[in-house]
Structure 1
Amino acid sequence: MASTAGASPEPGTTAMVVDDVVNGSEAERTQAARADVQRFRDVTLDILRRSTCLDIIPDSGKVVVFDSELPIKHAFFGLVEHDIKCAPVWDSRTCDYSGMITVTDFNAILLHFYDSAEFRQSTDKFALKLGEYTVRQWNELKRGDTPLPRPKLFFTLPEDSLLDGVRVLVVRNIHRLPVMQLSPENVILCINNLQRILRFILHHIEARGQSSLLERIRVGDLPVGSFGDGCARISGSMTLIEVLKLLKRSRTPAVAIVDQQGRYVDAYSRSDVRYLAVDMTHDKFEKPIIDIVSMRENRMLTVTRRTTLDRMFSSLLSSRKHACIVLDDDRVVLGILSLSDVFQFFLENDLQPPNT
């Protein structure tokens, strides 16, 4: 097996390229890969069924919780400061959790206020506007006059199976799920995500002596991901505000920035939106997206169809990414593959969500 991995700090380059070359007859390898993929799926489901959400709670750690009366601006400063992408919201009026605030909310907030008079007139006034709105007021504004129920916090109990937890994440299309202890009072023990669950699965696969499965299976062997028209591609000249609107319209975790030949240049992900809280000016929203990503250090992971799963998973976990861009040998963008796609494949015949 040969592999290459490289990183470049130069603008317009990828953070990491992971590739593996596996020798042998392609037809024979493809047939064997189908069997390996099914074994990998069976082993994973067995681990998820046998494990509980309690098993994945770390021995130590912290859960950042925001009060519903916290100004929106401070909430997103908090996400950046703690290097997290979401936080549970505690409603002091009802003495209960009312939901989560996420980077998706921040994207929606920016788009909502973008055309406001406060934003157009002065960046300072726009920042002041964000300082006036609390997390609770944003939730009320988001609902408008529709008689929607208050936001619900999806969660699992420590004794729930890990399979139930994954099912909630996949079916509800959410990325983080609190593990809640209800007695003697509601306490969030940890917030699970697919990365943490994947790390747990890989540990148990290794303990079972089956790690070689992941060394044989390639990215192209998995029947998952968004390819062709399902993968959003943009030019580097598209403005930041246009990209934010595109992310709002679609469910993609990131958009690939390509040149005129469709070759990969960089990417902008949903989680990148939170960094706008640190430096938010009117000019920035009109800048080309290529200028925005050139100032960022932690770039998107890229793979090819030949990249083995052990390489891809290891790189996703070490870079704390939830998705990667799939390229061909000429660096043309083929698609995007996320952990949500992979876990949906695990559960494709078992997607009925539990009562949560």
Structure 2
Amino acid sequence: MQVRISDGTLTEVMPRLSEAELQVSRHRVSGFLSTHTAYELLPESGKVVALDIDLPVKQAFHILYEQGISMAPLWDFCKGRFVGVLSASDFILILREVRVTFYMQLGNHGSNLTEEELETHTISAWKEGKAYLSRQIDGRGRAFSRPLIHAGPNDNLKDVALKILQNEVATVPIIHSASEDGSFPQLLHLASLCGILKCICRYFRHCSDSLPILKVPICAIPVGTWVPKIGEPIQRPLAMLRPSAPLSSALNLLVQAQVSSIPIVDDNDSLLDIYCRSDITALAKDRAYAHINLNEMTIHQALQLGQDSYSPYELRTQRCQMCLPSDSLHKVMERLANPGVRRLVIVEAGSKRVEGIVSISDIFRFLLG
């Protein structure tokens, strides 16, 4: 909205949201999610991919790449149940320096991860080594050996969303068993916040007036991670990298900063690309993982692996989904509800200078807060 001030010029006035309006909006979203179930997330047709826990790591790596997915539930044939997930984060950990400790624990005293080792070591062996690593790294065995986080088709959407947020996972398998003891489980779907957000947007699309919060610009609400203005305290720095930075820098940031993506920018901090955890699967192409040096390969080169044609430093709008600080929360939510979109980079109009980033998780923490 624009208003004219005394000197005759126009200035932007950001809509304000009262605490009462915020609580009303949150209550209505929570009410909707509590009365709808995970069953509504199931598509009319589709496929789900699960991996046998005795599958070699190398084969699993290639399956994720070929199927275009970043994670898959793990099936233990001996136990007759799903026991965990294998994700892009696992491959990031495998390819980083911590792999040395892992393979020493398994009796391999070499310092390089070879293609032969990927071929012979199973997912099960990796998961055991990962649990050992977690104890060595933080002394607490942090949640790496936790049971599978899953939901049933009759669980309400609010509970599913909270499971994803509280356990810091990207998806929750929807598993159904007709037996009381949970035997013969069926994997129905992989629920994500994107699917739940799509339900919210569809439900409130024609009655947005009932959610006053939807009209407020994202710059006016505490959501996302922002580049601090001059004089503002730094709450959580926004990680950004240049395309010439080594791939090892990106992988280290993804793990240490506990983020799922990193904007790739030029010298003026204008957006060029984005590196996500799921991009690690591109290293399966032509077995690149077997002969690369993480400190020598640049982020730009790593991103090119998954592209047949990519002009240097050309912004790929399909990958780099953007929004403006002035965009309404409703517009941001609608964009995030699109398949494959998990975050939006907040940029300055014209220059595409990065000002922040907002993810689906940020939206749900705000709405359910």
TM-score (norm 1): 0.80
Measure the CA separation in 1 of the matches of 2:282 and 2:200: 31
Q: Is the 8 A contact 1:119 1:126 kept in 2?
A: no
Q: Aligned in 2, Cα 1:336/1:114: closer, same or farther, shift over 3 Å?
A: farther
Partner of 2:311: none
**Greater relative contact order (CA < 8 Å, ≥ 6 in sequence):** 1
Q: Is the 8 A contact 2:336 2:360 kept in 1?
A: no
Shift of 1:230: 2.3
Partner of 2:297: 287
Aligned to 1:283, what secondary structure does the other structure show?
Answer: coil
Deviation sequence 1:171-198 (CA, Å, 0-9, x none) = 1111101122132332222110011111
Count, aligned residues: 323
Q: Aligned in 2, Cα 1:69/1:173: closer, same or farther, shift over 3 Å?
A: same
Q: Is the 8 A contact 1:69 1:136 kept in 2?
A: yes
Aligned to 1:60, what secondary structure does the other structure show?
Answer: coil
Partner of 2:119: 131
Partner of 2:314: none
Aligned to 2:365, what secondary structure does the other structure show?
Answer: helix
Give matches, 1:150-161, under 5 Å: 150-161=145-156
Task: Give the aligned residue type for 1:287.
Answer: M
Aligned to 1:54, what secondary structure does the other structure show?
Answer: helix
Measure the CA separation in 1 of the matches of 2:99 and 2:324: 39
Identity, in percent, stands at 25
Measure the CA separation in 2 of the matches of 1:42 and 1:60: 33
Measure the CA separation in 2 of the matches of 1:320 and 1:134: 29
Task: Give the aligned residue type for 1:283.
Answer: I
Choose the corresponding residue for 1:332, options 353, 357, 363: 353
Partner of 1:217: 216
RMSD: 3.0
Measure the CA separation in 1 of the matches of 2:111 and 2:284: 14
Q: Aligned in 2, Cα 1:234/1:114: closer, same or farther, shift over 3 Å?
A: farther
Choose the corresponding residue for 1:183, options 174, 178, 185: 178
TM-score (norm 2): 0.78
Partner of 1:304: 324
Measure the CA separation in 2 of the matches of 1:60 and 1:37: 37
Q: Is the 8 A contact 1:53 1:179 kept in 2?
A: yes
Aligned: 1:55 with 2:40: yes
Choose the corresponding residue for 1:74, options 59, 74, 77: 59
Partner of 2:366: 345
Partner of 1:271: 278
Measure the CA separation in 2 of the matches of 1:245 and 1:201: 35
Deviation sequence 1:46-68 (CA, Å, 0-9, x none) = 21011122222223222211100
Partner of 1:43: 28
Measure the CA separation in 1 of the matches of 2:247 and 2:170: 24
Unaligned runs of 5+ in 1: 1-21, 349-356
Unaligned runs of 5+ in 2: 5-10, 104-108, 228-235, 308-317
Task: Give the aligned residue type for 2:359.
Answer: S
Greater mean alpha carbon deviation, residues 37-46 or residues 172-181: 37-46
Give matches, 1:200-215, under 5 Å: 200-206=199-205, 208=207, 210=209
